A and B are shown apart, each in its own frame.
Chain A
Amino acid sequence: MMMIIVDEVIEHIFDFITSHKDRNSVSLVCKSWYKIERYSRQRVFIGNCYSISPERLIARFPGLKSLTLKGKPHFADFNLVPHDWGGFLDPWIKAFAKNRIGLEELRLKRMVVSDESLELLSKSFVNFKSLILVSCEGFTTDGLAAIAANCRNLRELDLQENEVDDHRGHWLSCFPESCTSLVSLNFACLKGEINLAALERLVARSPNLKSLRLNRSVPLDTLQKLLMRAPQLLDLGTGSYVHDPSSEAYNELKASIQKCKSIRSLSGFLEVAPRCMAAIYPICANLTFLNLSYAAGLHGNALTKLIQHCNKLQRLWILDCIGDKGLGVVASTCKELQELRVFPSDPYGAGNAAVTEEGLVLISAGCPKLNSLLYFCQQMTNAALITVAKNCPNFIRFRLCTLDPTKPDPVTNLPLDEGFGAIVQSCKGLKRLSLSGLLTDQVFLYIGMYAEQLEMLSIAFAGESDKGMLYVLNGCKKLRKLEIRDCPFGNAALLEDVGKYETMRSLWMSSCEVTLGACKTLAEKMPRLKVELINDSDQMEFNLDDDQKVEKMYLYRSVVGHREDAPEFVWIL
């Protein structure tokens, strides 16, 4: 007897399939499953907003509730993409509003978000709950006021590292008295003053508040009052952390912090008085995430003393003024460490505050669970990288940045090929890699040979010939994003396997050897690839000579036509 599983049952089973990859796979099995999957899909991830249009998205997933959308290419973070390149939220919101999509969650990265979009968003979706903006721009606190005022069921407003025009209005006061649903509020990136009394009242009427990240304008005594109201917090970002440690206010803070036994994640310290850090010690043993990467005022003993209390730390973000010795303290204290990010505190300085290969070796020896690294350093050696590869075979993300981009191994004066080679050979699960230092084609041979799981690769000032790029394109079967700047890779590498780019999200090449003619050839052969040539925003004229080298090329796969919002300095072939 044949058993027929009815659609409702399949749909119910699909409820348990949550990862995007799995749902994508499931939809490919047969027409019936495709149909069931698309009607039941609520969460969608779009890694490149120009790979599809809002209309197509809505047509396929009418039940959409939660969307993650990314706009500008990664190198836009480093000023390599001119302003106004694109990535506008507006058409998406307009389309969702028009089609009565029941949007509840929106997470955006590197998008241009206008106040008008925010206002439309706030008024169009009754059940809207969560807005997360990462590295976005284009909006002001007026847009935030609209969100606060109109989203009746808002649970999450999370602003991470956005460029926001702060009109110093009373956006925070726009949360109505009836709003008691907040779970997460992060406004650390806002520059202006906020209404402290309104903030206190808001926190007081938000019993579910678990995450609170304040901006610089919130003083320490207000922090104390907020903590009194919200001892249930899991995640805290302090604002200004400056006070006189002999004052009554500071003592009260100490007492309030001690009651916050649930805090697992701590950040902020945008302004910091090292003498006041002792108040934090009682909760340090509970911390799993500590972000001191904006705490420029914290260094030396005050910094290491704090870290010595944090023995359960899994993720640590710090500035390089911690020094190699300080990293040694981390290595001996934080045995559970999985992720370390060391940011430069003085990128053009004479190396007064910097870390070297020594700090990294100490970390690798002391923290065997390390799987994710971002490390800006003065120098690196092959020997150190080989040791690190041996000590930590579990890296998923390995991003190394020498402050001098073509610096060789200072001990041997050799390129860092062998060191990075050891990393890719040892770390079989490596998904993301960023290279720096003096590098020849050899490192790319290793990457192509060993980095089987690699999905994202960032290359700058490296390599000697097209062979380098070809090793990567031919070898890394799972490659999704490749970004290259200032490398001698040219047409032969670009055109060798044009089909490869349809298996990837995007390719960025700037200041390389690729010519206009080759880009045209590529665009002709592959209609589903968008090949964008980007000039600097003050240069509208494109040089039409096929032999002319292209300054910036961004290519991405897409199932729709050319985008219509491209500015004049962008030429889509």
Chain B
Amino acid sequence: MAKELETELRLGLPGGGTEKNEKKRVFSEISEDDENGKVSNNNNEKKMQSKSQVVGWPPVCSYRKKNSFNDSKASKMYVKVSMDGAPFLRKIDLAMHKGYSDLAAALEKMFGEALRDADNCEFVPIYEDKDGDWMLAGDVPWEMFIESCKRLRVMKRADAQGFGVLRSRETLNATSKNE
């Protein structure tokens, strides 16, 4: 009965609901069509070859350009991330992520090898909150989570059972799948 279990970190809110970016995809399709098809009504097409090469467009004053775009000094929310079995800890900036799925992807990237090497294990993402309690990630809205999260731990599900952590629907489903 050896099954190849895919270790999958799922941090969606209980009951599902992934963030949708469909509207933005629609936009990029539309603007691609425009770039290919439309005739611009003046003789300065060479200036329009690449949007970013048009001098002075969009018309934003240079002071503002220098001070408000892609602010690299935006607030950082670094927390330590430990993973059971990994030899050292990592740090991740929660502010860089838009939601749980985004975070899950980042953690997979970060611990990918360790996740794959672990034998038939499932992992559970937990975090230590302001009060010092260890919570299962995914229960509360993202904004609330990043405000209260002090550190993250990617824990083997097997270990989680003895840890008093609430079970999410995902882990429950996974358990029933195994049995």
Contacts and interface: CB of A to CB of B under 8 A. Distances in A.
A and B found bound together? yes
Interface of A: 75, 77-80, 135, 161-163, 189, 242, 245-246, 270-275, 293-294, 296-297, 300-302, 319, 343-348, 350-352, 354, 356, 376, 378-379, 401, 403-408, 410, 413, 434, 438-440, 458, 460-464, 485-488, 511, 513
A539 B9 CA distance: 61
Interface of B: 24, 27-28, 30-31, 34-35, 38, 40-44, 47-48, 51-52, 54-65, 67-71, 73-75, 77, 95, 98, 130, 141-143, 146-147
Contact of B75 (A135, A272, A347): A272
Given A346-B70, A403-B58, A189 B75 contact: no
Given A78-B61, A403-B51, 4 more contacts: A300-B98, A378-B31, A458-B59, A513-B43
B38 to A, nearest CB: 6
B38 A296 contact: no
B57 A78 contact: yes
B41 A161 contact: no
Contacts of B62: 77-79, 163
Interface centre among A274, A356, A376 (most CB of B within 10 A): A274
A294 B48 CA distance: 28
Contacts of A79: 55-56, 62
B153 to A, nearest CB: 20
B69 A135 contact: no
Nearest to B52: A348
A135 B24 contact: no
Given A79-B55, A351-B31, A297 B74 contact: yes
A296 B70 contact: yes
Given A271-B74, A460-B59, A404 B41 contact: no
Contacts of A273: 75
B95 to A, nearest CB: 8
B31 A161 contact: no
Contacts of B130: 246
Contact of B61 (A77, A464, A513): A77
B27 A271 contact: no
B48 A406 contact: yes
Nearest to B59: A78
B69 A401 contact: no
Contacts of B71: 271, 296-297
Contacts of A485: 56
A135 B147 CA distance: 38
B37 to A, nearest CB: 8
B65, B73, B130: residue with the most chain A Cβ atoms closer than 10 Å: B73
A410 B34 contact: yes
Contacts of A275: 75, 77, 146-147
A458 B58 CA distance: 13
B79 to A, nearest CB: 13
A464 B71 CA distance: 39
Contacts of A407: 31, 34
Contacts of A403: 51, 58
Contact of B147 (A245, A440, A462, A486): A245
A487 B74 contact: no
Contacts of B40: 406, 438, 461
B27 A356 contact: yes
Nearest to A240: B73
Given A410-B34, A488-B43, A351 B28 contact: yes
B44 A405 contact: no
Contacts of A351: 24, 27-28, 31
Contacts of A463: 41-42
A403 B52 CA distance: 10
A49 to B, nearest CB: 19
21 contacts: A78-B59, A79-B62, A162-B63, A163-B63, A271-B75, A274-B95, A294-B64, A296-B69, A297-B75, A300-B98, A300-B143, A302-B143, A343-B60, A345-B68, A347-B69, A352-B24, A379-B27, A407-B31, A460-B59, A462-B42, A463-B42
Contact of B56 (A75, A296, A352): A75
Contacts of B95: 274, 297
A376 B147 CA distance: 31
Of B28, B35, B41, B54, most A-chain CB atoms within 10 Å: B41
Contacts of A405: 48, 54, 57-58
Contacts of A75: 56
Contact of A404 (B31, B70, B98): B31
A161 B57 contact: no
Contacts of A350: 28
Given A242-B75, A406-B38, A348 B51 contact: yes
Contacts of A301: 141-143
A276 B14 CA distance: 28
Contacts of B56: 75, 78-80, 485
A294 B70 CA distance: 10
A297 B73 CA distance: 8
Nearest to A347: B58
A481 B150 CA distance: 56
Contacts of B51: 348, 403-404
A379 B63 contact: no
B164 to A, nearest CB: 24
A486 B63 contact: no
Contacts of B58: 344, 347, 376, 401, 403, 405
Given A273-B75, A345-B68, A486 B59 contact: no
A341 to B, nearest CB: 11
Nearest to A549: B43
Nearest to A464: B41
A345 B60 CA distance: 10
Given A461-B40, A461-B44, A296 B68 contact: yes
Contacts of B77: 275
Contacts of A379: 27, 30-31
Contacts of A401: 58-59
A271 B56 CA distance: 26
Contact of B42 (A294, A319, A488): A488
Nearest to B27: A351
A420 to B, nearest CB: 15
A81 B79 CA distance: 47
